[in-house]
Chain A
Amino acid sequence: MATSTAKAPPRRGLRDWLNHLSGMDRDRLEQAIVGYLFVLPDLIGLLIFVAGPMIMALVISLTDWKLVGEPQFVGLHNYEIIFKDPKFGASLGRTILYTVSFVPLVYCLSLGMAVLLTRRSRSNNFFRTVYFMPVAMSLVVAGVIWRFMFDPGNGLINELLGAVGLPPSQWTGSVQTAMISVIIVSVWKSAGYFMIILLAGIQDIPTDYTEAAEIDGANRRQIFWHIILPLLKPTSFFVLVILTINALQAFDQIYVMTRGGPAYATYTLLMYTYEKAFREWNFGYAAAMAVALFAMVFVLTLVQVRYFRSGEIRD
């Protein structure tokens, strides 16, 4: 697996760094030059089109900008409000609830589907395309169809439940079940996407490993748990980070189902941020919430990086 043996140079001041660069052997120098060259185009793009606007948002978060008139500098005032705002806490809580259900569900389901469809065959091609369909479907259309299927009166899902003798549910029509309903739809919409990522990751595992294990008499379950899953770690890390980020920013897929209702049962942090910005024009506060969300996701990702570090890279 990953074995980049060279130690990363210690981080020091610019002069040391330049000395270090000039003192490198030819290969290290080539690596550095090619490395920067390869990273630069994307880095510049990200700096201009993502980091730049984000810094503007950061500045806005220190003002009371309300779209009209000059923004006034208010320091950390907006951040102070966040901690006193019960709506922020409540929508954060719901967002976390959504995240801790959505992330493992999608990961397990898409991993299962990927394992189910690993082999190249015509029927697998067909099923893969079918599982990918929700990913390609437009949210507006998926939203309206699921709304009708979830209708507590005579929606398709309650009819099916009735047919097999199960009691009907209110689904999106009750605060108890609304969150479950939107999680079902979100999982349905995303599983195919992450199935693809995991499929590609499984292909990445050299087959001699699994073959050797088979010769040693390992059964399929052992191969999955002891060979495939550990070797899938870099991909799993990627999938879990992306899933977590997506879940903490959940908005559209829930909005088309419930508009955040009933009674705020599915109202997420990003919906609140959106409302503050685009409906109330309270851009300073909205930006502060976005920065707070950013900080939380960042810390969470660092934790994930740490957790996965062991199997991923040694440097």
Chain B
Amino acid sequence: MHKSPRHYLGVGSWYTIAIILGIVFAGPFVWMLSSSLKPANEIFVTPPILISPNASIKNFQEVFRQTPFERYMFNSFLVATTVTVTALLLHSMAGYALARLEFPGRRLIFLGIISTLMIPFYTILIPLALLVKQLGWLNTYWALIIPAIPHAFGIFWLRQFFLGIPQDLEDAARIDGASRIAVFFRIALPLARPVMAALAVFFFLANWDSFLWPLIAANKQEMRMVQVGIQTFTGEHGNAWEQIMAASVIAIIPTLLLFFTLQRFIVESVKMTGLKG
């Protein structure tokens, strides 16, 4: 095992640093959480009121009364899950091939793939909207799901990961007669669990919260996703902050839950088990 930084920092200073950082990072979250329970006129009072005497779940009820928020959550959930699962499979294959398999044009393909990261989404918004319209996908789940799957980020990261796994593990399997595909699924992929877990969180988050593309691709109310739904509470003259806060609290829960559950895979030392087992 790695010895923890606690070991040499000392438990006291370790906790001091961790807690100070924690306050900075969680402060606005606590503000949001506390605001979601408050009436509008208490949200921006200075100094902030942490727990309001008027706290209630009224804002949450309003969110569900004013909008079909459960529908937005369903859409976000469907899109985010489908994209995440498909993208994990496709990206891990691509990342593995780019890192571990020799084939002509590999470097060029890799450069081509990461160069797509350098395109600001605003630049391709209108061409992409035209394309999706030509495909007849406007206002369908296809429009929300399919264009979101191919993305260089995951391919790039998985490639970087597969570059680092020890060759002997694969060689051993190869000597036993396993095919390249079998090596990928049986040896390489299980080793990638930390990265795959982290990517699952990232993909889910990015698609659960995606805003600009769903806004353009689907304008029917029943096709809206969560972040577009939250924007319902903004308006011409001011925003209904109390409802935005409540809706944002609801929206953040699935991602945090997913992260909390998956993080044990992110920090597990797979390599250790791999080498000794």
Contacts and interface: CB of A to CB of B under 8 A. Distances in A.
Given A49-B131, A141-B244, A42 B90 contact: yes
B90 A41 contact: yes
B56 interface: no
B77 interface: no
Given A129-B260, A203-B266, A290-B123, A38 B116 contact: no
A141 B241 CA distance: 8
B120 interface: yes
A155 B112 CA distance: 47
A137 B248 contact: yes
Interface string A256-290: 00000000000000100110011000010011001
A46 B112 CA distance: 9
B152 A46 contact: yes
- A interface majority secondary structure: helix
Interface string B80-117: 00000000001101101111111111110101111111
B144 interface: no
A14 to B, nearest CB: 10
Contact of B94 (A38, A136, A301, A305): A38
B122 A138 contact: no
A261 B205 CA distance: 29
Nearest to B31: A145
Interface in B152-183: 152-153, 155-157, 160-161, 163-167, 179-181
Contacts of A283: 126
Given A141-B245, A238-B157, A53 B127 contact: yes
Contacts of B150: 42, 44-46, 48-50
Interface stretch (A82-90, A98-106, A174-182, A193-201): A193-201
B103 A35 contact: yes
A205 B161 CA distance: 10
Contacts of A38: 93-94, 96-97, 101, 184
Contact of B122 (A140, A148, A199, A270): A270
A138 B209 contact: yes
Could you say which interface size class chain A belongs to?
Answer: 35 or more
Interface centre among B147, B155, B160, B275, by most chain A C-beta atoms within 10 angstroms, is B160
B116 A51 contact: yes
B244 A156 contact: no
Contacts of B264: 120, 125
A249 B120 contact: yes
Given A125-B263, A135-B205, A234-B163, A245 B157 contact: no
Contacts of A3: 167
Contacts of B256: 129, 132-133, 136
Interface string B10-27: 000010011001101111
Contacts of A208: 275
Contact of A273 (B122, B227, B275): B122
Interface string A19-39: 011000000101110111111
A119 B1 contact: yes
A35 B166 contact: no
A42 B91 contact: yes
A193 B46 CA distance: 30
Interface in B133-155: 146-147, 149-153, 155
B225 interface: no
A293 B17 contact: no
B241 A204 contact: no
A57 B115 CA distance: 15
Contacts of A164: none
Interface in A105-136: 113, 115-121, 123-125, 127-136
Interface in B20-74: 21-22, 24-29, 31-32, 44, 46-48
B167 A4 contact: yes
B117 A245 contact: yes
18 contacts: A31-B102, A32-B102, A38-B101, A42-B93, A46-B113, A50-B150, A119-B1, A125-B263, A128-B263, A145-B31, A145-B32, A193-B202, A200-B197, A203-B267, A204-B271, A234-B163, A274-B122, A290-B123
The 7 closest A-B pairs by CB, nearest first: A45-B150, A53-B127, A53-B124, A35-B103, A38-B97, A35-B101, A56-B127
Interface of A: 1-4, 6, 8-9, 11, 17, 20-21, 28, 30-32, 34-39, 41-46, 48-54, 56-57, 60, 113, 115-121, 123-125, 127-138, 140-142, 144-146, 148-149, 151, 154-156, 159, 188, 191-193, 196-197, 199-201, 203-208, 210, 214, 219-220, 231, 234-235, 237-238, 241-242, 245, 249, 251, 270, 273-274, 277-278, 283, 286-287, 290, 293-294, 297-298, 301, 305, 312-313, 315
Interface of B: 1-8, 14, 17-18, 21-22, 24-29, 31-32, 44, 46-48, 90-91, 93-94, 96-107, 109, 111-120, 122-124, 126-128, 130-131, 146-147, 149-153, 155-157, 160-161, 163-167, 179-181, 184, 194-195, 197-198, 201-202, 205, 209, 227, 230-231, 234, 241, 244-245, 248, 251-252, 255-256, 259-260, 263-264, 266-272, 275
Given A42-B113, A140-B230, A293-B120, 15 more contacts: A20-B104, A31-B180, A34-B181, A35-B97, A35-B101, A38-B93, A51-B112, A52-B131, A141-B244, A196-B201, A200-B195, A200-B266, A204-B195, A274-B122, A301-B118
